[in-house]
Amino acid sequence: MPNRKNIVPYRRPAPGTQPDYLFPPYASTVKRAPTKPLVVLPQTLTETTGPVFGRDEVKPGDADLTRQHRGDPIGERIIVSGRVVDENGQPVAGTLVEVWQANSAGRYPHRVDQHDAPMDPNFTGCGRALTDKQGRYRFVTIKPGEYPWRNHYNAWRPAHIHFSLFGPAFATRLVTQMYFPGDPLLERDPMYNCIPDEKARRRLISAFDWQTTIPEIALGYRFDIVLRGRKQTPFEKRR
């Protein structure tokens, strides 16, 4: 059995920065959110450890969503990059980042998606990367389109890219969505607005990034992600 040295737990979320399970404006939560009280789980070795993924599974080409088929996908090519750090500002190195998104017309190649918009045979819309030592990741893709959904009258999702991250532990697992600056659909979007804290909401919006924009090739958008961090020990605070 492993040693029993004391576990330094991950922080609980700051009030208002994470959604509740039940949020009726997002209709699907009504039949799927837990109705009984959650049991507060003490963090043990189970929650403070997590799976590791390696270069044998994630190839550099997996981060370029525009090179998965014979031809070029239709749409505006973009670079999406950023850093993954923890709540203590430390880079999260070597962690798996999965992304998926609609094509430039707002359509997913999925049996459930019946939106009357064209499929793009040159775009599947999924990719993955491992962060480098500084916690950086970088994807080449095309700008996803907005699309309608039937949640309420005239409901349209703002353009977004789904992000799934592991971090070092079971407790740091995060799935989120990245949005684009200036999108007029954000203010009416239940998913964006499920977050009570306005600053936390705004952190889901990427920033146009001149530094990562490539002349004559693609605009850059920056999206930094923060995973849960451990509570600091008195020793670390002194440093």
Near other proteins by CB under 8 A: residue from 155, 203, 208, 213: 203
- Answer yes or no: are the C-beta atoms of 178 and 161 closer than 8 Å: yes
CB-neighbour burial class of residue 109 (10 A; exposed 0-12, middle 13-18, buried 19+): middle
Q: Round to whole Å and give the CA distance between 168 and 173.
A: 8
Pick from 24, 61, 89, 234 the residue near other proteins by CB under 8 A: 89
Nearest distance, CB of residue 215 and other proteins, angstroms? 30
Q: Which residue among 137, 147, 179, 192 is the active-site one?
A: 147
Give residue for tokens 């040159």. Answer: 122
Whether the CB-CB separation of 81 and 220 falls below 8 Å is answered with yes
Quick one: which of 194, 208, 212, 219 contacts other proteins (CB under 8 A)? 194
How far, in Å, CA of 239 to CA of 229, rounded? 17
Among 68, 122, 177, 212, binds other proteins (CB under 8 A): 177
Q: Is position 160 annotated as part of the catalytic site?
A: yes
The one catalytic residue among 10, 26, 107, 157: 157
Total Cβ atoms within 10 A of residue 56: 6
Q: Closer CB to other proteins, residue 79 or residue 101?
A: 101
Residue 190 sits at the vertex; the CA angle it makes with 110 and 66, to the nearest 5 degrees, is: 40
99 binds other proteins (CB under 8 A): yes
Smallest distance from the beta carbon of 222 to other proteins, in angstroms? 14
234 binds other proteins (CB under 8 A): no
Question: Which of 92, 131, 225, 230 is close enough to bind other proteins by CB under 8 A?
Answer: 225
Count other C-beta atoms under 10 Å from residue 228's C-beta: 19
Give the span between the Cα atoms of 195 and 99, in whole angstroms. Answer: 21
Q: Applying CB under 8 A, does 28 fall inside the site for other proteins?
A: yes
201 is a contact residue toward other proteins (CB under 8 A): yes
State which residue, 47 or 209, has the beta carbon closest to other proteins. Answer: 47
Catalytic-residue membership of 21? no
Please pick, from the candidates 74, 93, 155, 174, the single residue that binds other proteins as defined by CB under 8 A: 174
The size of the interface with other proteins (CB under 8 A), counted in residues, is 77
Q: Strand 126-130: give its sheet, edge to edge.
A: 126-130, 96-101, 160-165, 174-179
Residues marked as catalytic: 108, 147, 157, 160, 162
